[in-house]
Amino acid sequence: MTPAAPVEIIVTSERGPYRVHIGAGLSDDLPHLFDSLRLGAKRIVVSSAPVWHRQGKRLGPFLGRERPTLIPDGERAKSLTTVSRIYDACVRRGLDRSSAIVAFGGGVVGDVAGFAAASYLRGITLVQVPTTLLAQVDSAIGGKVGVNLAVGKNLVGAFHAPSLVLCDPTVLRTLPRRQFRAGLYEVVKYGVIASRPLFDRVTATLPRIFAHDLPTLTPVIADCCRIKADVVMADEREQGPRRALNFGHTIGHALEAITRYRRFLHGEAIGWGMLAAARLSVMRGTMQAEDEAELQTLLAALGKRPAVRDLRIADALTVVGRDKKVVAGRLHFVLARGIGSTEIVSDVTTDELALAMRQIGLR
């Protein structure tokens, strides 16, 4: 089969429209795309050592004699300390307001580099070149950037839309299988919240997706990006409809925090969170048990997730109480109304959350 044709999506934002390019081999065209933005000559590339080791040759000609700014790998690197390292690199390179930061890596690199771009000189250009499936389908689009605090995830951040997003599915071939699987949880999320056809297609073609078959994988990435773009354009600052993107994230973020970001990849925690949210949806009568069973089957087909049976519900509830989705003391929680639709409620009780967590295995 021939590779899928490249896709271009235009996203409007407060900072102006930007393009999301999706297609095999597009990362090799970054210099041309970057020049089309007509920016100043000075820029830095932020990446992590594992990503740069596997994929740095793609951006080597783009950097010239400059070296990338490498930050630690993993969720624990999403910190103000890491952001400070990027600021130092910006100063050394002499970046000004015509300059840009290029985030070349997964969601952590994109979030941290994005927050640095949002805050350095009160905001400079950001280019996202995501190298993980999770970042390509989710975090690179929409302009939410930030870092974690010890007590919770993404508690410090900003809205700072990129000027360009480039998603090249070929870079995913060197991604460790666990990392690739982690991204598929977010793909499944998009099916649950907005597209029954996407959910069914992932279910039917999962072996080809795992085989990185480009004619299968590229349209899946493009569909997720379209859904994300549509939601973001309707509610850029997450005052209403954009909250649907948090399906599974309330409890998923809590699991990450109580394990100090050491046990779960983000997608794995969201997988557990989606199971809990689906259970709560069935308990409330918004989701049929048959749809919950389909979700459970598909998530199980993605592979084994790190265990939760030793984690305490009380600890998770403490983190949930500090979640950024708590507004005026009320938690906005995303329930499923089946596969392909959600609703947002603000009356979920602590007892309901505890029961849902207990039923997925917490104690």
Nearest to 137, CA basis, from 7, 17, 254, 303: 7
So what's the pLDDT on residue 297?
Answer: 98
Domain stop point among 174, 198, 225: 174
So what's the pLDDT on residue 328?
Answer: 64
Q: Tell how far CA 1 is from the center of its chain.
A: 29
Asked if 144 is an active-site residue, the reply is yes
* Structural domain contains residue 140: yes
Q: Which of 153, 181, 249, 279 is catalytic?
A: 249
Which pTM value belongs to this model?
0.95
Torsion over CA: 312, 315, 318, 319 (sign): negative
Domain of 161? 7-174
How do residues 74-107 score in pLDDT, each as one tens digit?
A: 899 999 999 999 999 999 999 999 999 999 999 9
Asked if 246 is an active-site residue, the reply is yes
Asked if 228 is an active-site residue, the reply is yes
Q: Which of 78, 181, 186, 256 is catalytic?
A: 186
Asked if 309 is an active-site residue, the reply is no
Asked if 148 is an active-site residue, the reply is no
Q: CA geometry: angle at 247 spanning 136 and 104, to 5°?
A: 20
Q: Which residues of 279-289 are buried (b: 16+ CB within 10 A; e: fewer)?
A: bbbbebebbee
Asked if 186 is an active-site residue, the reply is yes
Number of domains the chain contains? 2
Instruction: Round to whole Å and give the CA distance between 198 and 342.
Output: 15
Give the mean pLDDT of 234-249: 94
Domain stop point among 174, 191, 206: 174
Q: Which of 43, 85, 144, 332 is catalytic?
A: 144
Domain stop point among 174, 193, 221: 174
Q: Given phi > 0 = left and psi -120 to 50 = alpha, else beta, which region is 222?
A: alpha
* Structural domain contains residue 1: no
Asked if 249 is an active-site residue, the reply is yes
So what's the pLDDT on residue 100?
Answer: 95
pLDDT band at 151 (very low <50, low <70, confident <90, very high): confident
pLDDT band at 135 (very low <50, low <70, confident <90, very high): very high
Does the pLDDT at position 1 exceed 60?
no
Asked if 332 is an active-site residue, the reply is no
Does the pLDDT at position 4 exceed 90?
no
Asked if 181 is an active-site residue, the reply is no
Does the pLDDT at position 2 exceed 80?
no
The residues pairing with 128 across neighbouring beta strands, listed in sequence order, are: 103, 165
Does the pLDDT at position 239 exceed 90?
no
Whether 188 and 336 share a structural domain: yes
- In this structure, what CATH number is given to the domain that contains residue 191? 1.20.1090.10
Instruction: Round to whole Å and give the CA distance between 211 and 275.
Output: 26
31-45, 250-264, 303-317, range with the lowest pLDDT: 31-45
